[in-house]
Amino acid sequence: MNSRDGAPLGQGIARVGLILSLLFGLIAVGAGYWQVVRASELTRAPDNPLVIAAARDVVRGKILDRTGATLATNRKDANGEPYRVYTDRSLAPLIGYASPVYGTAGLERAYNAQLSGQGSPNSLDDLLSKLAPGAAQGDDLTLSLSLKLQEAAVKALGSDRGAVVMLDPRTGRVLAMASTPTFNANAIANPVTAVAAFNRTAAAAGQPFLDRATMGEYVPGSVFKIVTSVAALGSGAISASTTYPQQPAAEQTGLLISGFRVHDAHHDFTGSLALDYDQAIEVSCNIYFALTGLRTGGAALSDWAGRLGFGAPIPFDLPTAVSQVTNGGGSFGGGFKDDVELANAAYGQAETLVTPLQMALVAATVANNGVLMRPELVTSIGGPNGNQSIGPQALRTVMSSGVASTIGDAMGLAVESPWGRIFTTGAAVAGIPTAGKTGTAQLGGSAEPNSWFIGYAPANNPQVAIAVVVEQGGHGSARAAPIAGSLMTLWLKTLNP
């Protein structure tokens, strides 16, 4: 009975049926993946309604700063259900929020288990049994943060978008971690205003929810020269007295590398002088570092940057974005595409992207004689069952103390010397020797460059390391350096003399 010509359709029908059956099998496999393999992880996610519902009756632990000042506590609404109250909006991107509608974010999310009194939940049953009515009291968190320093940092950034990270280089403890713009976490935590406030914040310009200090990825510009220094001096590719004979002449027209010209802006001051390492840092010589990068090699640069924390998330109390020297995948060594990319990366352009936290760690490692400390924010977790302190932890020795002091001396000159003062205005802490490096990260087009500063003080006995970035703030010395100077002054002279 089949058609007048052509074979019966049965074969095609059978194949289509087979393909559909396979597709449905795929759905079953997908369901198995989410319902069995990933089930416990999904069920413990802080914004899972089950967790939110279970946590609604819990009185969350408080969050305190280093002096014991309250950063986050609770109030009860008309129904007697507790909700979160925050002391200052300067903390919002860092601490995040705990909302009855939207779950948690930021530090509230990272320490949700402790704050809601669940320790480390191993299974859902465990979690639910611990949330039996009446038994709910979360642990308190004490941070190394200084509320006053944090407020000052946000105030200093003003209406600009940017970030400040300050930490104690000896312990890695975070003193301030600011990100602007901030937002009103109280409104999101309050059940009455949560929906409107959340939607308003999510739609606001400048992505207030983004914690720029840990998650913002920026072109570093000249502050990256410190990373190049660590690689070049650490690997022995150059010494402090290395000079490049071709460098003075190249200042006039730019250094030609495979058809690309590296330019500088300092030849009015240095004339025909062949710069050594200290002088190159003082005047922030791009050509010197382009040549240094080429001499060090891509593999060594990537490798030493990796020891400073590039290429992997930084172990920290909050999730961090990964800083990178290059996009990777290139064949030139260390993932670089060619010599042009390597030369540009060596002074912080090309495909190099960094987080403010990463750059603060670079400064802190130089300050701490070459030893990288794990950055930490939470110093103790306290609750009904006693206090648990979290001590400082050294991650690794990145470079010898000799190399660290060579770089540190040059950074000192960059802030304090006559030449340095021209390029790094306003970073110095009056009466206290200061070390640092500015950066002016070109974004391409007509946009103002990002303004950078990293440094530490006192130069001879470092107590605070800092990284400041101001988005489109102009030259490093225009915005970032003065902010760093005033904040380090405030910390060393007023808050922690």
Partner 1 sequence: MTARVGARPPRAVPRLQPRLRRRETGLLVLVGLIVVLGSVSLGVTKRQLAGQSLTWLPADGGQLAIYLGALLVAHLALVLAGRRSDQVLLPTIGLLGGISLLLMERLPQSLVTQSRAGRSFGRASIQLGWLLLAIGVIAITAIGVRSDAWLRRYKYTWAAAGIVLLLLTFLFGNETNGALLTITVGPFSGQPTELIKVVLVIFLAGYLSDFRPLLVSASMRLGPLRLPPVPYLLPMLAMWAMALGIVVIQRDLGAALLFFAVFLALVYIATNRASYVVLGLLLFVLGSVIAYQLFGTVRDRVDIWFNPFVDASGKGYQVVQSLYAFGRGGIIGTGLGAGLPLVAGRLPIPAIHTDFPFAALGEELGLIGVVAILGLYLVLIERGLRVAASAADDFRALLAAGLTLVVGVQAFIIAAGNLKLIPLTGVTLPFISYGGSSLLANGVVVGLLLALSDQGVEPPPPPRPKRGRRPAFLGGTPHGAR
Report in angstroms how near the CB of residue 26 gets to partner 1 at its nearest. 7
- Burial status of residue 432 (CB atoms within 10 A of its CB: 0-12, 13-18, 19 or more): middle
Nearer to partner 1, 209 or 277 (CB): 209
Nearer to partner 1, 202 or 422 (CB): 202
Report in angstroms how near the CB of residue 94 gets to partner 1 at its nearest. 18
Report in angstroms how near the CB of residue 443 gets to partner 1 at its nearest. 24
Torsion, Cα 347 350 351 356, to 10 degrees, reads 40
DSSP 202-237: HHSTT-TTS-HHHH--B--GGGGHHHHHHHHHHHTS
Report in angstroms how near the CB of residue 272 gets to partner 1 at its nearest. 53
Q: Are 468 and 483 in contact (CB under 8 A)?
A: yes
Report in angstroms how near the CB of residue 109 gets to partner 1 at its nearest. 11
- Residue 91 DSSP one-character state: G
- Pick one of 3, 79, 120, 331: the residue that binds partner 1 (CB under 8 A): 3
d(CA 91, CA 85): 12
Candidate ranges 18-26, 363-371, 388-396, 415-423; the one touching partner 1 (CB under 8 A): 18-26
Strands 103-105 and 97-99: antiparallel
Nearer to partner 1, 41 or 268 (CB): 41
Residues 71-130 within binding reach of partner 1 (CB under 8 A): 100-103, 105
d(CA 475, CA 452): 8
Nearer to partner 1, 29 or 430 (CB): 29
Nearer to partner 1, 192 or 447 (CB): 192
Q: Which residues contact 46 (CB under 8 A, 6 or more apart)?
A: 52, 103, 104, 109, 112
202 binds partner 1 (CB under 8 A): yes
Q: Which residues contact 347 (CB under 8 A, 6 or more apart)?
A: 221, 222, 224, 225, 228, 262, 286, 289, 290, 293
Nearer to partner 1, 39 or 256 (CB): 39
Nearer to partner 1, 81 or 388 (CB): 81
In the block, residue with structure tokens 């220094």: 229
- Phi/psi at 163 (5° precision): -150, 150
d(CA 280, CA 286): 8
- Pick one of 15, 263, 396, 493: the residue that binds partner 1 (CB under 8 A): 15
Nearer to partner 1, 21 or 460 (CB): 21
- Burial status of residue 354 (CB atoms within 10 A of its CB: 0-12, 13-18, 19 or more): buried
132 binds partner 1 (CB under 8 A): no
- Pick one of 30, 236, 319, 328: the residue that binds partner 1 (CB under 8 A): 30
Report in angstroms how near the CB of residue 20 gets to partner 1 at its nearest. 5
Q: Greatest CA separation found in the chain?
A: 103
Report in angstroms how near the CB of residue 409 gets to partner 1 at its nearest. 44
6 binds partner 1 (CB under 8 A): yes
Neighbours of 404 (CB within 10 A): 22
Total of chain residues touching partner 1, rule CB under 8 A: 51
Nearer to partner 1, 38 or 396 (CB): 38
409 binds partner 1 (CB under 8 A): no
Report in angstroms how near the CB of residue 52 gets to partner 1 at its nearest. 6
204 binds partner 1 (CB under 8 A): no
At residue 227's C-alpha, the angle toward residues 312 and 397, to 5°, is 70
Report in angstroms how near the CB of residue 44 gets to partner 1 at its nearest. 9
Residues 31-70 within binding reach of partner 1 (CB under 8 A): 31-32, 34-36, 38-43, 45, 47-50, 52-53
Q: Which residues contact 78 (CB under 8 A, 6 or more apart)?
A: none
Report in angstroms how near the CB of residue 103 gets to partner 1 at its nearest. 7
Nearer to partner 1, 194 or 362 (CB): 194
Question: Where would I find the H helices in 33-122?
Answer: 39-44, 49-55, 92-95, 106-110, 112-115
- Phi/psi at 296 (5° precision): -70, -40
Nearer to partner 1, 1 or 430 (CB): 1
2 binds partner 1 (CB under 8 A): yes
What Rg do the C-alpha atoms of the chain give, in angstroms? 27
23 binds partner 1 (CB under 8 A): yes
Report in angstroms how near the CB of residue 323 gets to partner 1 at its nearest. 19
- Pick one of 20, 256, 394, 422: the residue that binds partner 1 (CB under 8 A): 20
Count Cα atoms within 13 angstroms, Cβ side, for 378: 24
- Contact residues: partner 1, CB under 8 A: 1-7, 9-17, 20-21, 23-24, 26-28, 30-32, 34-36, 38-43, 45, 47-50, 52-53, 100-103, 105, 191, 194, 198, 202
